[in-house]
Structure 1
């Protein structure tokens, strides 16, 4: 494992990757469930150049999708949720219950979807920020609600009712 730090409008982003240039983590400063820095390996800001480039394009040049190799590490259920998150289009949102229903889990699984969503190790690229509460309001986000709001505003995502 190796990591790099890149600047973004949301503050520094830590990119964690494998020797095969697969992204295994994308973390914001003070993010919930962020692993200890020591687990990231050695710092090398030259790694994962495609990820850094695509993030820059996302924030500054209109990129709406990502196509970098990901290595999602989690339980089978978590990986199912994280894969489903990637189907929510740029500029749109879904609810926790809506995603649960779309996956055939039933609306009562919204809480389980929320817990898996909160453990997403690759923020922004696996767009966990695109899930909102049943009433359209912003709910928990590992990077903090101001960052979630900023990402949704950046994407001009609808419908979101800002508290």
Structure 2
């Protein structure tokens, strides 16, 4: 089994745990402060450092897309949903129904929501850009307040760059 490495990024909306190998990122999730372990940077693979730097650029309003290597682990259906999520432009929103249509399975709205909740690459696979068909914010593993913050952050960056 491939060794896992962990790095923590303190974002404006809480600590993010980054987990990966020497080659790819596998998880970017919000965590509780008490879970943080300090690691020496020289033990940290470059891919984790690049992820950290790109998250920092995102939160500082200088990055809209992520380019570090990552991989998601899930069922073929989950992967199809996550691939569709990647197509949602920065600062835009879509509904679960939109994603179901995008993957060619218009009746899979609940399954799309379930797959969305299993996304381990927060922010990079932008599940925060998914809203209910009523236009209201719905579920987010990091908490609805974070989802709202991320959407407002992206809208503000776009507005300020016009």
Task: State the TM-score bracket (shorter-chain normalisation).
Answer: 0.7 to 0.9
Q: Which has the larger radius of gyration?
A: 2
Partner of 1:34: none
Q: Is the 8 A contact 1:4 1:14 kept in 2?
A: yes
Out of 3, 19, 24, the residue aligned to residue 6 of structure 2 is: 3
Q: Is the 8 A contact 2:84 2:102 kept in 1?
A: no
Size of the alignment, in residue pairs?
A: 145
- Unaligned 5+ residue runs, structure 1? 31-36, 158-163
User: Using the alignment, how far apart are the partners of 2:55 and 2:143 within structure 1?
Assistant: 19
User: Using the alignment, how far apart are the partners of 1:44 and 1:142 within structure 2?
Assistant: 28
Higher relative contact order (CA 8 A, sep 6+): 1
Question: How does the TM-score come out when normalised to structure 1?
Answer: 0.84
Structure 1 counterpart SS, 2:11: coil
Structure 2 counterpart SS, 1:27: strand
User: Using the alignment, how far apart are the partners of 1:43 and 1:115 within structure 2?
Assistant: 33
Partner of 1:17: 20
Question: How does the TM-score come out when normalised to structure 2?
Answer: 0.84
**How large is the RMSD of aligned CA atoms in angstroms?**
1.7
